[in-house]
Structure 1
Amino acid sequence: MAAIPPLCDFGWKAIDARLPATDGRTHSILDLSGPNGLVVAFICNHCPYVKAVIARIVRDAIDLEEHGIGFVAINANDAEAYPEDSFENMKRFASHHALPFPYLHDEDQTVAKAYGAVCTPDFFGFNRDMELQYRGRLDASRKETGAADLKRELYETMIMVSQTGKGPAEQQPSMGCSIKWKA
């Protein structure tokens, strides 16, 4: 059953943490922000919703960097119950998809809980002051990749956020597999 996150809590401040990444380094989430903002995406390796849009996530992360917006992805799924989401498999996933952003492992799930992450993918878009301005979907794709001409909702919103500091009042929530919480 698909999970849907709540509406955007405008102005909520991004929370920092240091997490290990697939690149062999440990990264601070907030250090990955660009001068105009940051997207924090909760994803995983096995979710069909993520698999359907990972190429578009990569495209948008690259395009947002040109607008001074950083991007980071975090996997918080219980890897014991879902071995495909293990750290070793995260490394393979990052390499296979040529992720241009750090892919962090939230093994104890404290970051996902602090953010209130609900599903994969779950996108949090912050302005330059690290205030939440977007809690919505990438585009209208679901478990299948949508048409090539779908509106790039995350991308277009984050461009607006980079220019105005504000996100739109109307946002479509993301939809995906629920975060796989530890017992």
Structure 2
Amino acid sequence: MPQITIRTLAPSEIAAALPALAEVLSDCVEGGASVGFMSPYAPADAMPYWEGVGRSVVDGQTLLIVAERDGEILGTVQLGIGMMPNQPHRADLKKLLVHRKARGLGLSRLLMEAAESEAANHGRHVLVLDTATGSPAESIYEKFGWQRVGVIPQYALMPDGSFCGSTFFYKSLARV
């Protein structure tokens, strides 16, 4: 049975993780995920994006969580915690990505649980995300207890250049 590990990368680990993160992002875009990039999208194309994320981690603005199987990064999610002064209680969930070869292993759930735990540990209790309307991710977020807020039509482009709407979600971690 492969060993799955979910962990938050330390700033000192980012540089070594860049090639694996670039491979995951490239695979997702080439698989049709609307995550901000257009096809064709090779791992080398993803390096500048991940370098920027790395700087954000070093600056304390972002937490970068990875899912590893036997030491290989196969999934990731980011938690944006560097918010405006009037939003110290909020975080943005960004780029839940799982390599196609690792789908069906429960990595999305594990990554989301880790992100929610990290959010709570950092005093964040309102989480926000958006995803492509009609995508498989949309139903995943609902299954994980996120609340649909609404849809903005033609918000972004799919990797093939066609328009897609974006569905916005939030989740409250506060105990009421």
- Name the structure with the higher strand share: 2
Same fold (TM over 0.5): no
How high is the TM-score relative to the length of structure 2? Answer: 0.30
How high is the TM-score relative to the length of structure 1? Answer: 0.29
Relative contact order (alpha carbons < 8 A, sep ≥ 6): 1 or 2 greater? 1
Structure ID, larger Rg: 2
- Name the structure with the higher helix share: 2
